[in-house]
Structure 1
Amino acid sequence: MAPAGTVQPPAPAELPLRYSLAARMAGWFAVGALFMLLGAPFAYRIGLLGELLSIALFIVGATLAFCALAAGLVGIVRALMPSARVRGGLNSAVAVLIGGASLAAILHWMVLPGWDAPRIHDVTTSPKDPPEFDVARVAHYAGRDYLTYRAYDAQMQGKVSTAYPEIRTLVFDKSLRQVFVAAEAAAKDLQWTVFAADPTKGRIEAGDWSTIFGFVDDIVIRIRLNAAGYTVLDIRSASRTGAVDMGRNARRIQAFTEALDRHLPQYSTTRTP
């Protein structure tokens, strides 16, 4: 029995709940992840950040999302333990949701579609005679050097020209004009921005913007007759930003081929010129 006048300490069950450190950290990580993942692309689009810095901050945001997920899971476990006498389970759950959703979106949109793709950023149906850019890409690099397809392939020791053997010249048994009209329609179906379209030269140049950052990829389509008198179409897609396209340019060419097939269902197409 305690002496008279002394105050007994509260029983363990009566101790006040304290806020979990893991829950606090999870909340801050989640806020930081949202700020970086949303802010970096927005800042690039409005011209506040350059390409490399915006990508670096986005990677930081992805790292924070992972930290929010991990800390949030710890916070939930701690909140469910009666002996821990901590709170913050709801805050931790929200952090887990934000972190998990952010990582899932990054994996779905940016990583998984091209995780096994060749580490290149320039693809064409005609590696031996690639179509050349003449409008937007040249204007973008005005005053600065950029590698031609052949120079890039030589720098990569032939890895560019051999990366996608299944992507080859398309051959049609219809006129240049018919193929040109169908190609232009297919480009519009894919919501590309057409910079130039010259039916007399059989050339279409366009741009396609990435969903998240708005990075520009350039596209050139060349339509001409081959030695046998068939109409042949070659397309090239190249990224302005980054050394790796995660397979995006090859998928774009494939999507164009499929869109073109919808406009030329009755035409004879083959992969060999």
Structure 2
Amino acid sequence: MSQPDDSSYHNPRLLHLAGFLIFLGAAAVVLGGLAAALSGLGSRWDWWRFQTGFGILEWAVIACAGGAVASLIGLLSAVLQRQGALALRAVPGIVIGLAVLAYPLSLLDQASSVPAIHDITTDTDDPPRFRAVAGARRAAMNAVAYPGGDTAAKQRQAYPWIEPLLLDRPVHTVFQAARRQVAAEGWEVHFAERWSERGPERTGSGAAARIEATATSFWYGFKDDVVVRIAQAPDGRTRVDVRSASRVGISDLGVNADRVHAFLNALAERLES
């Protein structure tokens, strides 16, 4: 028995519709992907405020979702008509669309897994203070002073591992290592000084030091300020306290806690080596 001709499966209208959907899906995904990238970069380059960038990102996500759906429908239509070559053209639109969707969805999942706070410190009773960056923070959304209270309670519950680093090394040695680590992190340094007399932010007595810097995110250019306080503890060891706080936003998605924890671990490793 002879096999049916593939042309019997062809419906010119459906074939045209499949091609149109695949083209439309690809165009929507490409434009959505570009808009998603520019939503953050435009904010970083001061083309618009980050709230505008979030609005652009929202529309970019909708475009990518629609593009992926259109590409999928086009693919199914092409498969039903046994047009393998045409079906393959739909794959990039589906893959790229889902890839663009994955990132904001992962951010939403991350936001739901951490407390809505943006100021993290190893010392919630006497947190290191911002001085050199105080002016920049006053011009931003979030406060200069540590909020304490509910923020401290939420931090202790969510990040119990955020605590001071105690070292059997002199303050000046730890200070120099901290400066090198800050440089390695790529943060912008505003203040770095060591002094030998008792200062306004001291733990115990003896030598002390403080570093203030700013970390800037790549995509949206969000600025998080960091202060490192190094002082001699009552038991004679050197104590390192770190505070990292976002200038804008209610939730930091856990970024500041990760930064503090990673910095202290890297500092300890640097001193051991």
TM score, norm. by length of structure 1? 0.80
Cα shift at 1:159: 2.1
Q: Which amino acid aligns with 1:67?
A: G
Cα shift at 1:41: 1.5
Q: Which runs of 5+ in 1 are unaligned?
A: 1-10, 267-273
Indicate the residue corresponding to 2:42 in structure 1: 43
CA distance in 2, matches of 1:125, 1:74: 53
Cα shift at 1:117: 2.1
Q: Which moved more, 1:90-99 or 1:120-129?
A: 90-99
Distance 1:66 1:260, change over 3 A: same
Mapping for residues 1-273 of structure 1, pairs under 5 Å: 13=10, 15=12, 17-20=15-18, 21-82=20-81, 89-106=87-104, 110=107, 116-136=113-133, 138-142=134-138, 146-150=142-146, 152-154=147-149, 156=151, 158-200=153-195, 202-265=209-272
Q: Which amino acid aligns with 2:192?
A: A
**SS of equivalent residue, structure 2 residue 175:** helix
**Structure number, greater radius of gyration:** 1
CA distance in 1, matches of 2:253, 2:32: 23
Aligned residues, how many? 252
Q: 8 Å contact 1:75–1:92 — kept in the other structure?
A: yes
CA distance in 1, matches of 2:247, 2:125: 21
CA distance in 1, matches of 2:86, 2:129: 59
CA distance in 1, matches of 2:272, 2:84: 66
RMSD (Å), alpha carbons = 2.9
CA distance in 2, matches of 1:29, 1:239: 34
Cα shift at 1:207: 1.1
CA distance in 2, matches of 1:215, 1:135: 18
CA distance in 2, matches of 1:236, 1:77: 53
CA distance in 2, matches of 1:22, 1:129: 60
Percent identical among aligned pairs is 27
Distance 1:50 1:32, change over 3 A: same
Q: Which amino acid aligns with 2:124?
A: P
CA distance in 1, matches of 2:155, 2:9: 68
Q: Deviations over 1:56-95 (max 9, x none)?
A: 2123222322332222222211111118x99953542221
Distance 1:91 1:14, change over 3 A: closer
Cα shift at 1:218: 0.7
Cα shift at 1:102: 1.8
**SS of equivalent residue, structure 2 residue 218:** coil
Q: Which runs of 5+ in 2 are unaligned?
A: 1-7, 196-207
CA distance in 1, matches of 2:34, 2:136: 30
